[in-house]
Structure 1
Amino acid sequence: MTLGFEEVRLRLPHIELAAQVYGPEQGIPVIALHGWLDNAASFARLAPKLSGLRIVALDFAGHGHSDHRAPGAGYALWDYVHDVLLVAEQFGWQRFSLLGHSMGAIVSLLLAATFPERVQRLALIDGLIPPTAEADAAVTTLADSLRAQLALPAKRKPVYPSLEKAAQVRQRGVGHVSFEAAELLAQRGLMPVPGGYTWRTDNRLTLPSPLRLTRKHARAFVSALSCPSKLLVAEHGLLAQREGLGDWLVQTAIQVEYLPGGHHLHLDDELGAQLVADCFNPFLNAP
Structure 2
Amino acid sequence: MKAVQELRLTLPHIELAAHAFGPEDGQPVLALHGWLDNANSFARLAPRLHGLRIVALDMAGHGFSDHRPAGASYALWDYAHDVLQAAEQLGWERFALLGHSLGAIVATLVAGAVPERIERVVLIDGIVPPNPLPHDPVARMGLALREQLALGRKRKTVHPTLERAIEARMKGHVAVSREASELLGERSLMPVPGGFTWRSDSRLMLSSPVRLSEEQALAFARAIECPAQLIIAQDGRLAQEAELLGRLPWAPVFLPGGHHLHLNDEAGADLVADCINRFFAVP
- Contact kept, 8 Å, 1:175 with 1:262, in 2: the verdict is no
**Aligned partners of 1:136, 1:199: CA distance in 2, in Å?**
31
- CA deviation string 1:17-53 (max 9, x = no partner): 0000000000000000000000000001000000100
Aligned residue number for residue 131 of structure 1: 130
Provide the alpha-carbon RMSD of the alignment: 1.4
Aligned residue number for residue 264 of structure 1: 260
Give the letter aligned to residue 46 of structure 1.
L
What stretches of structure 1 of length at least 5 have no aligned partner? Answer: none
TM-score (norm 2): 0.97
Give the letter aligned to residue 70 of structure 1.
P
Give structure 1 regions of 4+ aligned residues with deviation exceeding 4 angstroms: 133-136
Aligned residue number for residue 90 of structure 2: 91
**Aligned partners of 1:8, 1:51: CA distance in 2, in Å?**
21
Aligned residue number for residue 209 of structure 2: 210
> Which of 274, 278, 281 is the equivalent residue of 1:282?
278
- CA deviation string 1:237-256 (max 9, x = no partner): 12124xxx323423432241
> Cα distance, 1:220 vs. partner?
1.2
Task: Map 1:1-287 to 2 at 5 A.
Answer: 2-132=1-131, 137-241=136-240, 245-287=241-283
- Contact kept, 8 Å, 1:29 with 1:54, in 2: the verdict is yes
> Cα distance, 1:284 vs. partner?
2.4
**Aligned partners of 1:18, 1:286: CA distance in 2, in Å?**
31
- Contact kept, 8 Å, 1:99 with 1:105, in 2: the verdict is yes
**Aligned partners of 2:120, 2:227: CA distance in 1, in Å?**
5
**Aligned partners of 2:210, 2:221: CA distance in 1, in Å?**
19
- Contact kept, 8 Å, 2:108 with 2:220, in 1: the verdict is yes
User: Percent same amino acid at aligned positions?
Assistant: 59
- Contact kept, 8 Å, 1:102 with 1:127, in 2: the verdict is yes
Give the letter aligned to residue 116 of structure 2.
E
TM-score (norm 1): 0.95
* Alpha carbons of structure 1 residues 51 and 206: separation in structure 2 relative to 1, 3 Å: same
Indicate the SS of the match to 2:6.
strand
- Contact kept, 8 Å, 1:134 with 1:213, in 2: the verdict is no
- CA deviation string 1:124-150 (max 9, x = no partner): 110000123679611000000000001
